[in-house]
Chain A
Amino acid sequence: MSDDTADMPLLVILRHAPHDGSWLREGLDVALVAAAFGRAVTLLFMGDGVEALRPGQTAGPLGQKGTHPTLDMLAMYDIEDLRVDATSLAERGLSTAELPWPARSVAAEELPAVIAAASPVFNF
């Protein structure tokens, strides 16, 4: 708890799929609040969280809001640093080329450094 963390970005790890409870939305809300106060924010999509980036999603059958409009909005909050875990992406048959947002692919061996370079880290 002793290292200097003031210059580090806040990291939100998104591990839950869209339309699966409120995890994804709550994680994005934390990122938006931090960014609204001028904090540098990194988003890391991991596990089922990478499903948030899959193109072609809509609102839910009962009219529940989808997350794509929120992802489109991130740039307005100056949240530009999107990372995606390459392993999780490959496991789901996705590639960065087909993602509608410029998310940077993070190889497994680079993942610990991304997490260690951020503070605080929030997992959703």
Chain B
Amino acid sequence: MLLHLLNRSPASSRLIQDVLRAMGPEDRLLLIESGVYGAVPPQSAGFETLKGRCYALQEDLTSRGLAERQADWIIPVDMAGFVALTAETQRTVSWY
């Protein structure tokens, strides 16, 4: 099981489709940096197939004025949560 990191806004490229295609059925996705724009409706709809395994970095949500604005099924994690995710997964793949 892999942890995928995405740091681009879904509005700016078709990267999201590539990431979704590349993810295995158990893999997790963590939205970081501009990737957290994808955590907010309506853009979050693009990740709905990942319910239960889609995360967003709290620090990046907060700094962009998106704290509490993320879709309710997206799981916010802080830095410690990020570290815990990397420990639970075999490897990390970054997308940008």
Contact = CB atoms under 8 A, between A and B. Distances in A.
Given A85-B18, A112-B22, A123 B95 contact: yes
Interface string A1-27: 111010000000101000000000000
B23 interface: yes
Nearest to A108: B21
A22 B62 CA distance: 32
B24 A88 contact: no
A47 B18 contact: yes
A85 B87 CA distance: 29
B18 A121 contact: no
Contact of B87 (A1, A3, A111, A120): A1
Interface residues of A, number: 21
Interface string A86-121: 011000000000000000000010011101100111
B90 to A, nearest CB: 5
A13 B19 CA distance: 11
A119 B90 CA distance: 10
A123 B96 contact: yes
B15 interface: yes
Contacts of A116: 2, 24
A105 B84 CA distance: 35
22 contacts: A1-B87, A3-B91, A15-B15, A46-B18, A46-B22, A47-B14, A85-B18, A87-B17, A87-B21, A88-B18, A108-B21, A112-B23, A112-B27, A113-B24, A115-B2, A115-B22, A115-B24, A115-B93, A116-B24, A119-B91, A120-B91, A123-B93
